[in-house]
Amino acid sequence: MSTNHNRVAVVTGGSRGIGRAVAERLAADGLDVVIVFAANEVEAKAAVTAIQEAGGRSHAIQADVADESAVKALFDMTEQLFGGVDVVVNAAGTMVLQPVAELDLDEFDRMHRTNVRGTFVVAREAAGRLRDGGAIVNFSTSVTRLNLPTYAAYAASKAAVEALGPILARELRGRDITVNAVAPGPTATALFLEGKSDEMIRNIAGQNPMERLGRPEDIAEVISLLAGRGRWINGQTIYVNGGAA
């Protein structure tokens, strides 16, 4: 990897939850970080402030990840701010849980627009813009292996993301750019914990041999490796779930 410039990361969905933990970890690793948010500017600015107060450089940019014009503008602005892009983390995503027979197809389309189209749009722009020696990290989910009722549409969207990685990795041959996906298990974010009883959370936590939920920092640790020194990991989906699947 080139060391004659500060490395720069773009993290979609970086204003909260796992995405924010990833943004803060990459900043702690010494990268300049652009936090991409869809709507919640307050949380995005709070994430930027946290990074800056810890001594890092960060900026928040609003963009619809499924809109190719907005994503092009996002990369343009990042290059203007920090000189280039080296790492892209596609953490933006949404989840709809419904049995197939009751699936709201409008909600299905909205989810796939973010999870599938959004990931592909950002990856497409990244493929043409990343500096050599860079990394693309996409987000899948461990539920692609668990066959859980109501998760079919969500799991299908993430299976599409998994299919992207090894193919794009081969298309980027010769540029030393890695493309991988992480597939978290249940992780203790506000979004995950909302609406769940203590008993339900204990039951979910007990499904893996570590007997706890994942923490956003657990996922960020793996992404730090993939974005940095893990150069011999390429075209893979890494399940980060404490052994649940």
- Write down the pLDDT at residue 2: 42
* pLDDT per residue as tens, the chain (245 positions): 444 569 999 999 999 999 999 999 999 999 999 999 999 999 999 999 999 999 999 999 999 999 999 999 999 999 999 999 999 999 999 999 999 999 999 999 999 999 999 999 999 999 999 999 999 999 999 999 988 899 999 999 999 999 999 999 999 999 999 999 999 999 988 878 887 889 989 988 998 999 999 999 999 999 999 999 999 999 999 999 999 86
- Write down the pLDDT at residue 108: 97
| Residue-range domain boundaries for the chain | 8-187+217-240
pTM score of the predicted model: 0.94
Q: Which CATH architecture has domain 8-187+217-240?
A: 3-Layer(aba) Sandwich (3.40)
What is the DSSP code string of the chain?
---SS--EEEEETTTSHHHHHHHHHHHHTT-EEEEEESS-HHHHHHHHHHHHHTT--EEEEE--TT-HHHHHHHHHHHHHHHS---EEEE---------GGG--HHHHHHHHIIIIIIHHHHHHHHHHHPPTT-EEEEE--GGGTT--TT-HHHHHHHHHHHHHHHHHHHHTTTS--EEEEEEE-SB--HHHHTT--HHHHHHHHTTSTT-S-B-HHHHHHHHHHHHTT-TT--S-EEEESTT--
- Write down the pLDDT at residue 245: 67
154 belongs to the catalytic site: yes
The catalytic position among 75, 120, 154, 192 is 154
